[in-house]
Structure 1
């Protein structure tokens, strides 16, 4: 432990134990786990990298969920080294306002990614549809009166695997058919698009940053910024449908590279299920991805206000969604027989 670190060894161990309470038991095998090794390797190789990202803006837009639906001492020392290395890299890149992802978030996302890697992929045909069913709510704000009211964001979505078929959204308003998404994109992903994304975390995050920049970058005077934009984009890709396991794993590992990512000990999805969350706070609100503590399956997402404002008081959940089923269907409008309950 460096002289600059005021914590005594027992304090370090206690802090590590508290973070470890968020996670599953550590693997039985000795040595570095794959995700810690990957992060150390990344820091070593990228330490000399030079970047010039845009200044970090200061606001996040409100979005509607159905809009997305439609188109020990030794261990402690290791974590201090990893965090310090990532902090140095982050500072060199110009993002001095944000610390790196917390050690607890890095470890949790690493274990979630390992679980995704272990999931069976199965054969998926081009003429099939990725299916997802959600329940949830958002908050609408009347610009004239300043009044807020909840909106129902529950529904089902069928998206063509190869993008050649039209997209079907089913909610309380009935069925709505949208144009075929085509090859797919970050904002309108298909199964094949997700399948073709890079699986190396650094390369994947670089692509997400590059392709998200026109939407969240300074060129469009966005107040979101590249880090929050990347976190939002990864969340949207994860919940857009049934992502191939290898892609989902890569997305989780990429999220662990984003500055400011943390964990939340207890979060509740729209159906009342409790879980542990991976989160990022920005401009007075926090986006949380909620996972089952035992299975580490993605349960849902919510946005919580951290400050009083036009949308409500601090602590208000202004958006919440729960995934209740997903799978691959032979035809749009049919619930897949292999569709599993989410969570």
Structure 2
């Protein structure tokens, strides 16, 4: 069976994919081909990984796939955020990000980005709840091995250039070349002329899925770029994995969202719905659907793996 046939047969035992899911799958494959630079040399493992991630519309980790639709209605709840539009909220979040990062020293190439993430997952059937505290140490310039946790499992990543395609990049020096002007950044997130706003939103989320050191102004510019996307909306009844009250910002039909603090506008994490997936006879089967909350607890730059800020 060829790779594209395997991808098409993902649908065989699940509900038909939405247009957004198909779009995201194509976007993932297109990014991989662009980054690889040799379309004919893409491995089966990479192609299937890209297709599954695209179908999930966010990320795959340990067989988990994200799918579905977000149902926030954007209604006011009487709080100070009740009168803010999604774009206004994102601009305030950008201002908070710039304030928090002011004066932060530029990391050295030989250092590591430390990230601590708390994750809760509640399964739709039965209400079972699982939690993880993931810590990661990512090489700033990608020249050293990194140690990354996903749902409690430790991954020892080789230096960049020796593992699979990753986009957006994680190397600090490469990200430092990205524009911090919102209009220019939005075009980069759209992947040029062939992309659109849905692709831009997916790529903006990817900045926060895999730990990385963000150069000054890039995180803030990402929020401002998302603010330029028509149709982004808010859900003012969101709560993060640590129980903090927040407001979620999402794109219609995508079931993942940025979450911001209701009082400080600080970025808190991501909320997603999904399910575990597995390949059976070349086909993707989805089961055990869940609601997942991902809270960013701490970030910093350290000198060695195992060290904390």
TM-score normalised by L of structure 2: 0.61
Corresponding residue for residue 29 of structure 1 = none
Give the Cα–Cα distance (whole angstroms) in 1 for the partners of residues 59 and 120 of structure 2. Answer: 9
Question: What is the Cα deviation at residue 317 of structure 1?
Answer: 5.7
Alignment of 1:1-343 (within 5 A): 57-59=19-21, 61-62=55-56, 63-64=58-59, 66=61, 104-118=85-99, 119-120=101-102, 121-138=104-121, 154-170=133-149, 175-182=154-161, 186-210=167-191, 226-239=196-209, 240-282=211-253, 285-304=254-273, 318-336=291-309
Displacement of 1:301 in angstroms is 0.8
Question: In structure 1, what is the Cα distance between the partners aligned to 2:191 and 2:150?
Answer: 34
Q: 8 Å contact 2:239–2:246 — kept in the other structure?
A: yes
Q: Which runs of 5+ in 1 are unaligned?
A: 1-55, 68-101, 218-225, 337-343
Q: 1:228/1:148 Cα in 2 relative to 1: closer, same or farther (>3 Å)?
A: farther
1:108, distance to aligned residue in structure 2 (A):
0.9
Q: Paired residue for 1:28? A: none
Q: TM-score, normalised by structure 1?
A: 0.56
Indicate conservation of the 8 Å contact 2:302/2:308, yes or no. Answer: yes
Unaligned runs of 5+ in 2: 1-17, 25-54, 63-82, 275-285
Task: For 2:150 and 2:257, locate their aligned partners in 1 and report how far apart those are by CA, in whole Å.
Answer: 24
- Once the two structures are TM-superposed, the CA of residue 212 in structure 1 deviates from its matched residue by 11
Partner of 2:277: none
Alignment partners' CA distance in 2, 1:248 and 1:124: 16
Asked which structure has the greater CA Rg, the reply is: 1
**How has the CA–CA distance of structure 1 residues 236 and 124 changed in structure 2, closer, same or farther, with 3 Å as cutoff?**
same
CA deviations over 1:158-189 (Å, ceiling 9, x no partner): 11111111121146756431111259953442
Runs of 4+ in 1 over 6 A off after TM superposition: 146-151
Higher share in strand: 2
User: Higher relative CO (CA 8 A, sep ≥ 6), structure 1 or 2?
Assistant: 2
Aligned equivalents of 1:297 and 1:106: distance in 2?
15
- RMSD over aligned CA atoms reads 3.7
- Classify the secondary structure of the residue corresponding to 2:19: coil
CA distance in 1, matches of 2:19, 2:108: 42
